[in-house]
Every structure is written in structure tokens, then in C-alpha cells.
A and B are shown apart, each in its own frame.
Chain A
């Protein structure tokens, strides 16, 4: 039987997993972006996450929300384009959900995804189906909430979230981009994944894995 919460101190090191996956996959992200955008998504994400990783290392001990705040601030301050502000507010707003707690449980994750989605939509105005990272966040959130409503455990719900995120990413392949740079391509954007959705899937899956490992420990 897995636990139903993880302390925020325990969860802090998940930030290093997030940094590692984005830095490791930056070539893949740029390649996806190159098909419809200007091919710099991986370069910018890699640069931002690497910088955040260095700051976190220097910070020493930090909780999950403190780590999110550092990552968010780094992306906001040092990475331009549209991904800097989008992911920057995504992480800082998710961190705020954990302001008055010492542990993260299932309702927190649900509230965090909601806050992250609101942050991204508040800035970018993307709707589901527009071929953006929203097409990963929305199904992830719905998948998590549905699993919770069905009485699944926290860990099981995280697995459901991961699966839904992956399916959301795959679904962007058949979409035509409506916002952002790829939207200039119109029909030519169909048939490829969205780069922002791809990085978002990596982020949410890595976050879920980090929590599941600790819940089962």
C-alpha cells in the first residue's frame, strides 16, 4: 500500500530530475521544433533548465515549491521568447499552491495543474486543440482528476496523469497550430508533434515518476 502524501522536503530533489530530462532531451526538442518552428526550443529550454540546476545546486536544501520558484524565476528572467514566460509562470504559480503546507497530496497536485494551466492560458490565450502545451496539461489534469474520482490511490492517479499527458502529446500530431509561431504554417503544421507539448509531457511525467517513487518507498 503506497502512502498518500510526500513531504515537500523529500520532493525537492525531483527538481534535479526535471533539469536532467530537459538537458538530456534538448536535441530531441529542437528537432521537433525545427519541423514547424525555428528549431530553438531545445536550445532555450536546455539553457534555462541548466542555469536553474546550477542555482539549485548552490541553494543546497530546498523544498519542492522553493525549487519550482527558482526554476520559474530563472526561466522568467533569463529565457526570452514565449517559453520563458509560459513555463516561468507555470512553475511559479504551481509553487504558490504549496505555500501553506509541508506535504504534497492528491488535492494539491490537482490544484497545481489547475494553477499551471491558468498561468499558461492567462498569458498565451491558447485553447485545447490549438497544438500547444495546453494540449498536454488539460488531459493530464483531467486524467488525474478522473482517477481520483474513481477512488484510485495518489500513486495510481499520478500514473493515470502520465498516461493522459503522453496521449495528449501524441494527439498534437494531427492538430493544426492555431497560436504561436507554428500557427504561421497553417496546414503545414499538421503531422508533427508540438515542441512545447513535448517538453511539457517530459516535465509532467518526470514529476509524476518522482512522486510515485517516493510514495512507494
Chain B
């Protein structure tokens, strides 16, 4: 495969150096090479927001650090959780005296490392609480929601919690709103091709030419069904069907929608897909209050897209509209 890399084992590390060089107004390095913080430090007394996860999902996770979003991020190897030490360092970088909310996705490694890092922080007298995103409705039945993976819905969680922290919410309130956001969010992805971790050299799963995998995970985890590639409108209908049923969305509700590419799908096709999503949601009597279309949460060079829908109440609607500025998401505000 033709890649723009040097040493396959150093890709994550070298990408971090590049991103800091490219966005000096948004991101700053810390003493830990795997931890970045917002270039503009918020004032003391704000709840710190930390996220983290494996590399290879850019702009997630580092792309959501900035005003109105996260304050620090821990970055792991490609598709592998950051270390407990990195999460701990990120907590310290986001300590502004009001506690830290760690908002991350539900994967075994991340759960363990966050758990250990929270203990390390407690020894320093720093209170850290966490919310684990589990928005991938295709990854487990609703009854086993605690087994579901966290995917692009994390963006909705960061945006809501980041907004409330900026407004001066305390740690309990920030944690509660992050939990509310993720509880009201559902996502489904469709994969059209596999992806390869550079150090592994070959994909560890396959999608046959002409086929698509509905419900695929961000590391190629199997979805709910494999079928021949369908037109975009059918893809939109399939994905929305899973999400809307899971969230039990009725008519006259407010929603936020996010369509993310998985890495190799042209952005043009994401716009095309969004056109169908928009029409189908309106046809169901839903009011789309916020929309995000682009590459927000990718899986190296996988082809495909994910759709995320969040049910909004007045608070979430207000928080989604607040200004935010990061590599992955900028909201101007009104």
C-alpha cells in the first residue's frame, strides 16, 4: 500500500508532531509526547474536559480540543488505548481547580487505562469522573447497552459537556449533561472497504468488492449484516431505521445530526448522503436543529460513513449552539 509515512511503528508519534506544528493557535504540546492541550488555557474554576483514544480516527480525538470542547487529549497507538500514564497526564493538564470530566468511548483498553489513571489522579487530590460513550446501536442489543462501542456520537457528548463547562457548570452538572447527551444519541456505520494498521501491514478483516457491511465498527468489528452495495438513499434509510428505532424518536422532536466519513470516502459523497438523511428525518416530522457533515471520526482509509442522531431537549439544543473552535469542529455561535 502506498502511504505517506516513515517508520510504520512511529506513525502515531510523528502525526502528533505534525498536528502541533500545523495548529499552534489551537493545540499545544505537553511534557508527555502523547498528550496535547488547548493552546488557549481557560480561566481557573472551569471543569476540565479530557478525552482520549487510539490514533487512526483523526480528527478524533485530538481534533476536538479547543474552546467550547475538550481541554486535553491522550493519544494512543493506532487503534489502541492511550496508557494510564497518558490519561493521568491529560487529567493534570486539564485541572483548573474544579475537577475533570473524562469523556471517552467504550473499549476494553480505554476502560482499564482510564480506571487506573483516575486512581492515580485521586492520589494527587484531583477528582476525575468519567462518562463512557456507547452510541453504536449496531454493536450490541439495547438490553446490553453497556457493551456498545463509542463512535461518532462522542462528538455530541464533547460539544454538550464542553459548552456547559464553558458556561460555568460544576463537575456534577457537566457529567450529567455528557451522560444525557450520549444516552440520547445513536450511531450506525456502513463500511465499504477494509483498513490497514501500518505496522501490521495487512488488513485484519475484509469486505469483498461490491459488498458493504452495515453496523461495522471503527476498527473493522463486524456489523449486523453484509449485503451488496446499495444506492446512497437505501444506505441512509437502512442506517436511520436502526437509529430511530433504537432512540424511539417520535414526531415533533428536535435532533442534531452528524454524518462522518470513515476516512476514504469522498466528502462529496457525504454531502450526497446527508441530502437523503435530511429529507428522511424531515419526512418523519423531526426538526433538525444542528447538522455536521464531514470527516469527524474516521478509521484510517476505510471507505464508508456513519450517521449519528441525537435527541435534543432545550438544554442540549442550547449547548450545541454555543461557539466552539477546534480542528475538527468549529461552531460560530449566534
Contact = CB atoms under 8 A, between A and B. Distances in A.
Interface of A: 30, 34, 37-40, 43-44, 47, 76-86, 89, 123-124, 179-181, 184-186, 188
Nearest to B8: A43
Interface stretch (B79-87, B93-101, B323-331): B79-87
B5 to A, nearest CB: 15
Contact of B80 (A34, A80, A86, A180): A80
B204 A180 contact: no
Given A77-B85, A79-B83, A181 B112 contact: no
Which size class do B's interface residues fall under?
20 to 34
Nearest to A180: B108
Contacts, number: 86
* Interface majority SS (helix, strand, loop, mixed), chain B: loop
A185 B222 contact: yes
8 contacts: A40-B77, A78-B83, A80-B86, A81-B80, A86-B112, A123-B115, A184-B139, A185-B222
A77 B83 CA distance: 6
Interface string B175-201: 000000000000000000000010110
A67 to B, nearest CB: 20
B159 interface: no
B319 to A, nearest CB: 31
B77 A124 contact: no
A76 B85 contact: yes
Contact of A80 (B77, B115, B199, B221): B77
B59 interface: no
B83 A34 contact: no
A47 B13 CA distance: 15
Contacts of B222: 184-186, 188
Given A43-B200, A80-B82, A124-B112, 10 more contacts: A38-B79, A38-B200, A40-B77, A43-B199, A76-B85, A80-B81, A83-B109, A85-B84, A181-B108, A181-B221
Contacts of B77: 40, 44, 80-81
A81 B110 CA distance: 7
Given A44-B77, A123-B115, A185-B222, A39 B217 contact: no
Contacts of B217: 184
A30 B8 CA distance: 15
B113 A39 contact: no
B294 interface: no
A81 B81 contact: yes
A43 B199 CA distance: 8
A71 B154 CA distance: 34
A131 to B, nearest CB: 13
A81 B220 CA distance: 17
Contact of A39 (B76, B82, B108, B200): B200
B219 interface: yes
Contacts of A77: 83-85
B116 interface: yes
A40 B113 contact: no
A81 B204 contact: no
A37 B204 contact: yes
B116 A43 contact: no
Q: Which 6 A-B pairs have the closest CB atoms?
A: A82-B109, A184-B221, A81-B80, A80-B76, A85-B112, A80-B83
Interface string B67-80: 00000000011011
A40 B116 contact: no
Contacts of A185: 221-222
Contact of B204 (A38, A78, A186): A38
A34 B220 CA distance: 12
A44 B108 contact: no
Interface string B1-35: 00000000100000000000000000000000000
Contact of A123 (B76, B116, B200, B219): B116
Contact of B83 (A43, A76, A123): A76
A77 B82 CA distance: 10
Contacts of B221: 181, 184-185
Interface string B218-256: 011110000000000000000000000000000000000
A38 B85 contact: no
Interface string B113-157: 101100000000000000000000001000000000000000000
Contacts of A188: 222
A208 B111 CA distance: 32
Given A37-B204, A184-B221, A80 B197 contact: no
B112 A123 contact: yes
A34 B76 CA distance: 19
Contacts of B83: 76-80, 84-85
Nearest to A81: B80
B113 A84 contact: yes
B147 to A, nearest CB: 8
A23 B112 CA distance: 25
A82 B85 contact: no
A80 B116 CA distance: 12
B84 to A, nearest CB: 6
